[in-house]
Amino acid sequence: MTRQAYVNGRFLPIGRAEVAIEDRGYQFADGVYEVIKAVDGVPRDLERHLARLERSLAALRIPPPMSARALALVIGEALARNPIRKAIVYLQVTRGVAPRNHLFPHDARPSLVITVRRAPFPSDRERAEGVAVISLPDQRWGRCDIKSISLLANLLAKQQAAEAGCREAWLVDGEGRVTEGSASNAYIVDSEGRLVTHPSGPRILGGITRSVVLELAREAGIEVVERPFTLEEAKAAREAFLTSTTSLILPVTRIDERAVANGVPGSTTRHLARLYAERSGIPEAAAGL
């Protein structure tokens, strides 16, 4: 099957899909994106993703390329043309094509690109054993709530984590507090069984998985505390885990070479993964746990 990409109004085989070299996304990373998972052609949590896209665009003063309704239709069409059971939709909007100039162009139309591919969910083994993370300084800018395609600090951190044999980097601010991962949100369970995660705001991306997991936790009677936690707290925590659209809920069992508690996924993490699997219709989310 040849994957089909959507580029500014047209579907093309992915190898022939192109954007202009003066696209501001290419020259300035002047754009935003979303990553949405879909099961059997149906996107999950689409309204939340489209609402976040709208917020990201508004923050950068990029006009929406089309209405949310029209966007939902195009996403549906992209999924129909790429029949993959468990898929990831990548959607990117940039400010458009214009001769290079830092100032916003007056007449550029936003560029919209959509691709679909198989969801790279973690392996059963990663879920069953949990993953290792490395802590690194958070070198990003002050608006991490915008899902910007400008991801250099995230890439450098993720690469460094991989080279250290770790799945993810947990980013630590100037006060020693974990903000989030390079491409995921970060959580601990404290000695009282409370779920602790950095509050939403400009220091983190408000993850869609995060919003769902916090709802599920509250519904299950788990106390949720949205406050920053330090790296030291994380290392002494009863449990730790991370979430993202592609990682689902992934137990963290090592932080900087040190085992979290007894080094196996904790009961609250496993409970939440089961609830998430049920709610999302993705049994993989709890497989191996």
- Residue 35 as a binder of ligand PDD (CB under 6 A): the answer is yes
Asked if 5 contacts 30 with a C-beta cutoff of 8 angstroms, the reply is: no
Mark the segment that binds ligand PDD (CB under 6 A) among 73-81, 125-133, 202-210, 219-227: 202-210
Which is closer to ligand PDD, CB of 35 or CB of 60? 35
The CA-based diameter of the chain, rounded to the nearest angstrom, is 59
Radius of gyration from C-alpha coordinates of the chain: 19
Other C-beta atoms closer than 10 Å to the C-beta of 236 total 15
- Residue 184 as a binder of ligand PDD (CB under 6 A): the answer is yes
- Residue 217 as a binder of ligand PDD (CB under 6 A): the answer is no
Tokens of 180: 């989030």
Asked if 92 contacts 147 with a C-beta cutoff of 8 angstroms, the reply is: no
Asked if 162 contacts 169 with a C-beta cutoff of 8 angstroms, the reply is: no
How near is the Cβ of 105 to ligand PDD at its closest, in Å?
A: 26
- Residue 246 as a binder of ligand PDD (CB under 6 A): the answer is yes
- Residue 245 as a binder of ligand PDD (CB under 6 A): the answer is yes
Residue of 205, 216, 217, 255 that binds ligand PDD (CB under 6 A)? 205
**Spatial separation of the C-alpha atoms in residues 5 and 129, rounded to whole Å:** 36
How near is the Cβ of 76 to ligand PDD at its closest, in Å?
A: 20
How near is the Cβ of 183 to ligand PDD at its closest, in Å?
A: 4
- Residue 157 as a binder of ligand PDD (CB under 6 A): the answer is no
- Residue 210 as a binder of ligand PDD (CB under 6 A): the answer is yes
Residue of 43, 207, 251, 265 that binds ligand PDD (CB under 6 A)? 207
Tokens of 78: 């992209």
Which is closer to ligand PDD, CB of 78 or CB of 205? 205
Residue of 56, 148, 209, 280 that binds ligand PDD (CB under 6 A)? 209
Q: Is 198 left (phi over 0), alpha (psi -120 to 50) or beta?
A: beta
Matching residue, tokens 């993705």:
282
Phi and psi torsions of 248, nearest 5°: 60, -130
Residues involved in catalysis: 147
